Amino acid sequence: MDNATIAQAMNDIALLLEIKGENPFKIRSYSNAGQTIEKMSTPIAVLVRENRLRDIEGIGDALEKKITELVTTGELEYLNELRGQYPKTILDLLKVDGLGPKSVKALYKALGIGSLDDLRQACEAGEVREVQGFSAKREQKILAALAFLEKQGGKFRLNTAWVTAAALCAYLVDNSPATRVEVAGSLRRFKETVKDIDIIAAADNTDEVMKAFLGWPEVARVVSSGPTKSAVVLKNGIPVDVRVVAPNQFPYALLHFTGSKEHNVVLRRRAAEQNLKLNEYGLFREDDTSLQCDNETEIYQALGLPFLPPELREGLYETDLCPPIQLVTQNDLLGMAHCHSTWSDGKNSIAEMADATRELGYHYLVITDHSQSSVYVNGLTPERVLEQHAEIDALNESADTGFRVLKGIESDILADGSLDYDSDMLRQFAFVIASVHSNFDMTEAEATKRIIRAIENPFTSAVGHLTGRLLLTRAGYTVNVDKVVDAAVANGVAFEINANPRRLDMDWRHLRRAAEKGARFVIGPDAHRVAGLRNMRYGIGIARKGALAPEHVLNCLGVEEFLQWRKGR
DNA sequence: GCCGTTTTCGGCCCGACTGTTTTCAGTCG
């Protein structure tokens, strides 16, 4: 039994106990255990075998017994019993924004609502408003939240899909005669969410590749299977298509299945203008003889076009970017921005974050813990800021490698648009990321005004996660992006591209236009632990998708220029 | 349910907003 399954069981127990109305601290114990196990690299099954479960912080007597039972028997009586008390789908209701465990319980008791469908029908019938604690207004809010959920339904975050796709590619390389295996589709284009994974493989013996794919242990259900194309749904719910082609067809298949549809239309039209025909098998002359290209670049060349990186193939830039810009790459990034430490709600010390950042090849780290208003995440009081600065000074003095830790802060933007410290305090930071973390319920005009006021604060360096969205979960507030960008350009304030795969905010769709207006960006992993530093790859992907070059991205600057840029404020 | 420990039980990140149960529970971050 893998860690994900065990973690899921712990998390389900926590949620069911919440609906039951159990002791909140007991609930937290289960939920903490779930989160810990989810992130562990050591298989829990091994720890069970070696009798070492208790070594894990947060696992005591009771959890040790339950996890052992789950791992050894494959079942957990306690969980089964909890599940038996409610409909199978009741936990889905907790995904509805604004519905917590108490509301779910009330709706279940009063109306027997146990699924999203039940909930929608009851709202539409006007039954929900009659339940104690609900109202017509709240009913409308629930319907809106349901609509949002439905729209996002069946989609997966970029990181989930990438990790899964990488595992599958590695498996096929190791266990089939495929000579090339690559990710295609919207995942290759770095869309922030995807509905499936597309994989293209090249092999002379396609049957063997298909056999290997269908035999992958992560496959839950085969939807369709044939000699060149098979579709499955994985145990984690993600649908996967694999296509296998002859090696000489590979670049065409990769291009075709990377898409987007709009991009392919542009390419095929271009081919037609030259009396050529482009499809997933090749580029053909009128007499059906084919032009052989060995890679995508050669196909673009044959069409008289510059190579367009996959991230840009959305039907937006096909004619605009000529000559093509040099997109930002991982190698261009010198600074790690927007990181938390144990001073607020991070899990690693500043020194640990710094070591990890340096090992990843960066030259400096901007520590931006939470500000004082964010009490729930241990935000820094002015006194603690000074203590933290002393620690950073000491770290920088003891470091002999030239690596630097910079004193930043993620300051809350308060409801009126002011920042969370006075000027004397703000002056002491090398970088101030101003973010909204409260009062999300704003009209567009209010949100825009609030953020512009923060931008006009002379100590603001960048606006953090512009819309506050959580992908697949929460839409975030609406902002007039044009007005905010204009204000930021006028005041020399940058925008964060939050690289946390749950956010990827600001949205890539706005980046190019903002850059053309003169906006600058900082890619921030929003890391709360060392592992979170790896989020940078998603932020870089999004920056590329927004057609940004290194000159648009502040943390491509060396440390002195980075500091200088801020002083120019 | 876990932890630390004064080895038996109290503490466990806190505050703001929302809507309406008009005094606070529920939700969110």
- Give A368-397 pLDDT, tens digit per residue: 999 998 887 889 999 999 999 999 999 999
SS (H, E, C) A110-149: HHCCCCHHHHHHHHHCCCHHHCCCCCHHHHHHHHHHHHHH
Q: How far is the CA of A57 from the C1' of B10 (A)?
A: 20
- Residues A437-447 have a mean pLDDT of 87
Domains and CATH numbers, chain A: 3-152 (1.10.150.110), 156-245 (3.30.460.10), 257-312 (3.30.210.10), 330-567 (3.20.20.140)
Q: How far is the CA of A65 from the C1' of B11 (A)?
A: 24
pLDDT the model gives residue A397: 93
pLDDT the model gives residue A42: 80
Nearest protein residue to the C1' atom of B14, measured from CA: A376
Q: How far is the CA of A528 from the C1' of B24 (A)?
A: 34
Neighbours of A419 (CB within 10 A): 22
pLDDT the model gives residue A57: 84
Partners of A279 in the beta sheet?
A282
For residues A326 and A547, give the distance between their C-alpha atoms in angstroms, rounded to a whole number. Answer: 9
For residues A443 and A465, give the distance between their C-alpha atoms in angstroms, rounded to a whole number. Answer: 17
Neighbours of A512 (CB within 10 A): 21
A374 near A344, Cβ under 8 Å? yes
Q: How far is the CA of A64 from the C1' of B2 (A)?
A: 12
Question: Which nucleotide across the nucleic acid strands is nearest to A375, CA versus C1'?
Answer: B14
Query: Is residue A323's pLDDT more than 70?
Result: no
Average model confidence (pLDDT) across chain A: 91
Pick from A38-47, A129-138, A269-278: least confident = A38-47
Q: How far is the CA of A528 from the C1' of B1 (A)?
A: 25
| Alpha helix positions (H), A360-480 | 382-398, 423-426, 444-456
- Residues A359-369 have a mean pLDDT of 97
Nearest protein residue to the C1' atom of B12, measured from CA: A25
- Residues A221-239 have a mean pLDDT of 84
- Give A188-217 pLDDT, tens digit per residue: 999 999 988 999 999 998 889 999 999 999
- Give A461-510 pLDDT, tens digit per residue: 999 999 999 888 888 888 999 999 999 999 999 999 999 999 999 999 99
Query: Is residue A321's pLDDT more than 60?
Result: no
Q: How far is the CA of A200 from the C1' of B14 (A)?
A: 50
Q: How far is the CA of A67 from the C1' of B13 (A)?
A: 27
A180 near A173, Cβ under 8 Å? no
Q: How far is the CA of A140 from the C1' of B22 (A)?
A: 23
Q: Which nucleotides of chain B have an atom under 7 angstroms from any protein CB?
A: 1-3, 11-21, 25-29
Nearest CA to A60 among A38, A94, A32, A101?
A32
Query: Is residue A331's pLDDT more than 90?
Result: yes
Question: Which nucleotide across the nucleic acid strands is nearest to A29, CA versus C1'?
Answer: B1
pLDDT the model gives residue A209: 92
Query: Is residue A84's pLDDT more than 60?
Result: yes
For residues A251 and A98, give the distance between their C-alpha atoms in angstroms, rounded to a whole number. Answer: 47
Nearest protein residue to the C1' atom of B3, measured from CA: A58
Residues with CB under 7 A from strand B: A 23, 25-26, 28-30, 57-64, 78, 97-104, 132-138, 345, 375-378, 415, 437-441, 470, 474
- Give A395-440 pLDDT, tens digit per residue: 999 877 789 999 999 999 998 899 999 999 999 999 999 999 988 8
- Residue type, position A133, single letter: G
